[in-house]
Structure 1
Amino acid sequence: MSALAPPARAGVPGPARTGRRRRPRAARSPWLHVAMIPVTLLWLSPIVFVLFVAIRSYDDIAGRGLGAFPASFSTEGFTTALTDGGVLQSLGNSVLVTAWAVLASLALSSVAAYALSRFDIPGRRTILLTMLAGNLLPPQILLVPVAAITEAFGIADTRTALIIVQVGFGIGFYTFVLHGFMRSLPTEVFEAARLDGAGPGGIFWRIVLPLSRPSLAALAALATTWIFNDLIWAMTVLRTEDKFPITAALLNLQGGYASAWNVVAAGSLIAAVPTAIVFFMFQKQFVSGLLVGANK
C-alpha cells in the first residue's frame, strides 16, 4: 500500500508546484546623486571660469577685474588666439604628432604583446618588466640624453623626433596592458584557429586584434590625452616655433599676452577641444576597456 502525500494547505505550495523565487530589488538611494552634485560643480568650476574669461573683452577684464561676471559677449580672445597667437598652426602640429605617435605606439605594442603572451620567448618576463621599468624613470633625468641622441642622429628640431620619443616612452606601458589582456584570451580559440590552418599572422590579424578592440580603444584615448598634452618632450626636442605643439604655443601665448587673459583663456579652451572629442568618441570603448577581465 503506497503512502499518500498529505494535502497541501491553503496558501502553501505543494510538492508539484514550483515557482521562481523573486529576488529583492536593490533600493536605489538618491543620496549618491545628491552628494555628487557639489563634487561635479566643483570639478567644472575651473572650466566655467576659463570660459567666462574667454568670452570677455580686454577692456571688460581691465576695467572690472578678472573675477567679475561677464558684462558683454566678445570673440576677441578666440580671434586673436587663432590668428596672431599661432594656436591654429600649433594645433595642427599637435594633431599630426599625436595621430602618428598613437598609431605607431599601438601597432608596435600590440605586436610585442602578442609575441610575449603567446610564444615561448626566452626571458620574456624579463623583457616585459624591463619595458615597464622604463616608464618608472622620471623624465627629468632623461632630458639631456634624449636631446643628445636626437642631435647625434640628425633629427633634432623635427616632428619625427618628437613622434619617436613619444612612441619610445609609451610603448612599454601599452605592451604591459595589452599583454595582460591577450594572455587572458581562451586557449581554445587559438587551437581552433590552428586546426583551421591559420598561421601566427592570421591569428593575430583575424582573432587577436578584433578581440582586443576594447583595450586598444581605451589605450588610444589615454595615449591621445598624454601625447597631446605633453610639454616636456616638445620643449626638449623642438626649437622652431613653427613646429611647436599646442602646449608649447600656449606657453608662448601666455608670455606674449601676459595681460590679455581672454586670449590665454581662449587658447586653452581651443586646446582642450580635440582631447574632449576623442574621449566622447571612444567613451563606450574606454569604459569597456577598463572593465576587461572584471567578470572573469
Structure 2
Amino acid sequence: MTVAVAEAPLPAGAREPGERPARRRVKPARVVLHAFLVLVSLGWLAPVLLSVYASLRPYQETAEYGYLSWPRHLTLHYYTQAWQDAEMPKYYLNSLVIAIPAVLVTLFLASFLAFAITRQKIPGGKILLVMFTAGNLLPPQVLLIPLYTLFNRIPLPYAMSDSELLYDSYWGVILIHVAFQTGFCVFVLSNYMRTIPHELTEAAVMDGAGVWRQYRQIVLPLCRPALGALATLEFTWIYNDFLWALVLISTGDKMPVTTALQNLRGQFFTDYNLLAAGAVLVALPTVFVFSLLQKQFVAGLTLGANKG
C-alpha cells in the first residue's frame, strides 16, 4: 500500500530545485548613485593617471603634440633623474623621522584620552571632548607667526637640536603635528569606544585589573580597526605636510620629501614631466602604507554599517 506524504511548503523566498534565481530589479536611483560614484572616482584618479602618463614621456614630445596625445616613446629615464637630482633617499628619511613618531605619539595620546573620557568618570569629560573637537576648527595659519616667535625662544640641548632651539629641529614639527591631530583622533576614538560594552571593563575591574591594564589589554585591542584607519589617514596628512616644515625648518638638509620637488624646478625652465615623475615617487610611501593597512582602514570606515 502506498502512502502519500504531503510535502512541506517551502519557506518564503526559497526556490525549487533547479529553479533559476529571480533577477532583482535595479532601481533607477541606484544606477544614478553608481554612475555618480564612478564619475567622482574618475575625477580623483584623472590627475594621478595624467601625472604617471606624463612622467613616462619626454618633455619634447608633450611640448610638440600635447599631454593628451598618443605616445611615441615611453621611458623610465625621468624616474632615475628625479631620484638622483632631488636626492630622494635623504628627504624620504627626513619625512619618516617626522611622520612615524608623530603618528605613534598622536595615536597613543588620543587613545588614552578617549579611554579616560569614555571609560573613567572624570569630571568635565564631555567639556574636554568638546574642547578637543573645537580645536580642529582653528585654522593653523593663524598660529604661524606666534609659533615661529615662540619656537625661536625655546632652547633645546645640542644633542636634540644642532640649532639649540626648538626652531629648525624635527622636534618642533613633530610637536605641531601631534598638537593639531590629537583632537581629531580623540573625537573618532571616543565615539568608537562608546560602542564597546562597559561589561568588559567592569569584569576586568572585578578581576583586579588596573586602569593601565584595562586600557592596554581590554579596550585597545578592540580599537584596532579604528586605529588602523586613523594611522593611515594621519600618516598621509603628516607625510604630505609642506606648510609647517617650510615655516619651522630653515636648514635645507632637514626638509621633508615634499620640499624635494623644489630641487627639480629650474631657475628659467621647468621640465614638468620630470616634476611629475618626482611627484609620483613622493606619493609612493603613502600608497605603500595604505596597502599595508588596507584591511584595517576599510574595517574602520565600515564600522557600524551592519548590525551585529
TM-score (norm 1): 0.86
Q: Partner of 1:75 in structure 2?
A: 76
Cα distance between partner residues in 2 of 1:39 and 1:215? 25
Any idea what SS the aligned residue of 1:170 has? helix
Deviation at 1:65, TM superposition (A): 4.1
Q: Partner of 1:124 in structure 2?
A: 125
Q: Partner of 1:4 in structure 2?
A: none
TM-score (norm 2): 0.83
Q: Are the structure 2 counterparts of residues 25 and 151 from structure 1 closer, same or farther at C-alpha, using a change threshold of 3 Å?
A: farther
- Structure 2 residue identity aligned to 1:119: Q
Q: Which moved more, 1:34-43 or 1:209-218?
A: 34-43
Q: Partner of 1:88 in structure 2?
A: 89
Cα distance between partner residues in 1 of 2:290 and 2:62? 32
Unaligned ranges ≥5, structure 2: 15-20, 155-164
Cα distance between partner residues in 2 of 1:282 and 1:22? 39
Q: In the alignment, does 2:194 pair up with 1:190?
A: no
CA root-mean-square deviation: 2.7
Q: Are the structure 2 counterparts of residues 273 and 259 from structure 1 closer, same or farther at C-alpha, using a change threshold of 3 Å?
A: same
Deviation at 1:239, TM superposition (A): 1.1
Q: 1:280 is matched with which residue: 291, 302, 308?
A: 291
Contact 1:157 1:238 in 2 (8 A): yes
Cα distance between partner residues in 2 of 1:34 and 1:290? 19
Q: In the alignment, does 2:282 pair up with 1:271?
A: yes
Count of aligned positions: 284
Unaligned ranges ≥5, structure 1: 1-9
Cα distance between partner residues in 2 of 1:33 and 1:111? 39
Cα distance between partner residues in 2 of 1:78 and 1:204? 46
Contact 1:87 1:250 in 2 (8 A): no
- Structure 1 residue identity aligned to 2:112: V
Contact 2:85 2:264 in 1 (8 A): no
Q: Which moved more, 1:150-159 or 1:261-270?
A: 150-159
Deviation at 1:183, TM superposition (A): 2.2
Q: In the alignment, does 2:139 pair up with 1:142?
A: no
Identity %: 39
Q: Partner of 2:192 in structure 1?
A: 181
- Structure 1 residue identity aligned to 2:191: G
Deviation at 1:254, TM superposition (A): 3.5
Deviation at 1:40, TM superposition (A): 4.2
Cα distance between partner residues in 1 of 2:127 and 2:227? 24
Cα distance between partner residues in 1 of 2:32 and 2:246? 43
Q: In the alignment, does 2:231 pair up with 1:240?
A: no
Q: Are the structure 2 counterparts of residues 34 and 201 from structure 1 closer, same or farther at C-alpha, using a change threshold of 3 Å?
A: closer
Cα distance between partner residues in 1 of 2:208 and 2:58? 68
- Structure 2 residue identity aligned to 1:109: A
Q: Which moved more, 1:53-62 or 1:127-136?
A: 53-62
In the TM superposition, 1:8-19 aligns within 5 A as none
In the TM superposition, 1:1-296 aligns within 5 A as 20-22=11-13, 27=24, 29=26, 31=31, 35=35, 39-153=40-154, 154-254=165-265, 258-294=269-305, 295=307
